[in-house]
Amino acid sequence: MILGCRRVLGPFTRKTRLRILLEIPFSNPYLYNIPDTYIRFLLPGVLLIDGVPSMTPSRQAQECSHENLVYQPSPHASQAGYRSYDPRQLLVAAGKNSKDVPSTPSTFPAPLVLPNDDLALGPRYPPQSFRSWLRGKDRNEITSDRRVIYIAAPPKVDNDIVFVRRWILPRLSNSRGGVGKTRKGSIETPISTPKTNDVVEYLAAFYHGMTVKQLPFDLTYASWDDEEQTSKTKSTSSPFIALNTPYESVRIRTRTCPDDMFPTQLSLNDLLDVAISVLPKDAYALLMLVDHDLYEDEDDDFCCGRAYGGSRVAVVSKARYNPVLDGVQGVERQHAWPASHCENYVKESCATVSWPSKKAKTDVAPSTTVENSDSESNALEIAVRAHRTIPPDKLSTPEHLASLWLSRTTRTASHELGHCFGIDHCVYYACIMQGTASMAEDVRQPPYLCPVELAKIQRAIGLTDKDVMERYKALQNFCGRPGSGFAGFGCWIRGRIGE
């Protein structure tokens, strides 16, 4: 069975406890888009500016121009034991002739491999080339009667357990539990949670050639009736809730969130079992969206998503991608993709690690100056210019933050569905199919498929080169919607098309 996940360990220890400072009306925008209400948070690193939230880091950060970009792994990569691939090896990995023209590094750069990144922690992760994927025994072929990707909307909540709705509300504090001292502020303008139909539309473009649609029936959380439970345990302290489908009621385990970021987490494995049980006959794959925070096993602080690739199901939680959590999760928006390839940022990230057995390198690979580049086919540079030119006052608007939340959710959704196509984590390029070890790394990774993984999807779905171009155009059209969360990707696609 092919497994895959966006498994992320939280930045806090088990001893960390974040003090809740919430003023919540009975209804609020986080509870399944209930309108005409608001939430007021006291957040570390969030200020109220003109009625909308504005993130400020715990230490004053200077604006970065991202003038120079790097396309090769960081100096830390070789120190961690990661071995990069030369152009010939990359061509062969993508199933092409080694004498073909290689991909442009400025469009498809190598993985950064910064300290504590997934590839830095596991630099010898086995590569999966196009040919090894093609020979995979667990790979599911697409057939004429099994060509639909279903997206299950977040389960509804039955009226007898309304307290479950509060579990999706993040707990935040000010300078407690090692989070760091920041100015106090509040949010009075709600951020819209990603809508299922928007996720469906994005995935229909990303997996162009497949039918992508919402699961035609609802899933509902309800109370779990167990003879061993007393009426007293059927409350907020109950370790179980039920998830009702049209066919059965499934027990879902719960636990207190170890890092106290949310009140309660749900068992990811139990939700995956539900996804398997409701998989339609014509489904190639099913992705279940969840509003709640998740855990996979007792050693995890949390897990954002997981796929059972061989079973063709995946579950993705939207909870940790909420932009209001960026300050406490160490997420630096200024150097999120595409600006994660900023030379200064890479240097500073690698300078934080000392290596007693070796002299640490301080130089990064040759870079390109964005200001001096007049190329309209250098996809990464075009994306960085778009990222850099977003007006500062727009970055803190509810529209931008909602778009950012949606873009993060769709990235992970497309990643997890990639596992359902039999694709393993990518080690060749910076790629949507890379593994991730933290929320900070998650936002540094790109939303596109690299040449190796795109070749697999092209073969799986049966896309021609013309179809691949239509796929890019469909994604570019989606990225043009209001909100700037997809602006960088849209500009990257423009550069890719222009090559």
Query: What's the predicted TM-score (pTM) here?
Result: 0.83
Query: How confident is the model at residue 483, as a pLDDT?
Result: 78
Q: State the burial class of residue 362 (Cβ atoms within 10 Å of its Cβ: 0-12, 13-18, 19+).
A: exposed
**Residue of higher predicted confidence among 346 and 98:** 346
User: What is the spatial distance between Cα 304 and Cα 292, in angstroms, rounded to a whole number?
Assistant: 10
In whole angstroms, how far apart are CA 92 and each of 95, 279, 402?
5, 36, 40
Which residue, among 342, 311, 271, 310, has the nearest Cα to 64 in the 3D structure?
Answer: 342
How far apart CA 409 and CA 154 sit, in angstroms, is 13
Question: Which residue range forms the structural domain that includes residue 419?
Answer: 3-497
Residue 22 belongs to domain with CATH number: 3.40.390.10
Task: Write the single-letter amino acid at 287.
Answer: L
- Interatomic CA distance for residues 55 and 334, integer angstroms: 11
Determine the Cα–Cα distance for residues 42 and 296; give it in Å rounded to an integer: 29
Tell me whether strands 305-308 and 3-6 are parallel, antiparallel or unpaired.
antiparallel
Identify the pLDDT of residue 484: 79
pLDDT at 225: 79
Residue 200: band (very low, low, confident or very high) from pLDDT cuts 50, 70, 90: very high
Distances (CA, A) of 34 to 39, 47, 215: 11, 24, 22
Give the list of residues 6+ apart from residue 399 with CB closer than 8 angstroms, or none: 482, 483
Contact 179, 10 (CB under 8 A): no
Say which residue the tokens 């691949």 belong to: 468
Query: Tokens at residue 376, please?
Result: 């309209």
Asked if 261 and 171 count as a contact pair (C-beta separation under 8 A), the reply is yes
pLDDT band at 6 (very low <50, low <70, confident <90, very high): low
Q: How confident is the model at residue 138 (pLDDT cuts 50, 70, 90)?
A: confident
Most confident of 2-11, 222-231, 234-243, 340-349: 340-349
Distances from the Cα of 218 to the Cαs of 64, 225, 246, in angstroms? 46, 20, 8
Minimum mean pLDDT range among 133-142, 188-197, 320-329, 372-381:
372-381
- Does position 51 have pLDDT exceeding 70, yes or no? no
Looking at residue 146, the DSSP 8-state letter turns out to be: B
**Could you tell me if 300 and 265 are in contact, meaning their C-beta atoms sit under 8 angstroms apart?**
no
188 has a pLDDT exceeding 70: no
Q: Average of pLDDT values for 456-470?
A: 97
Counted domains in the chain: 1
Model confidence at 365: pLDDT above 60:
no
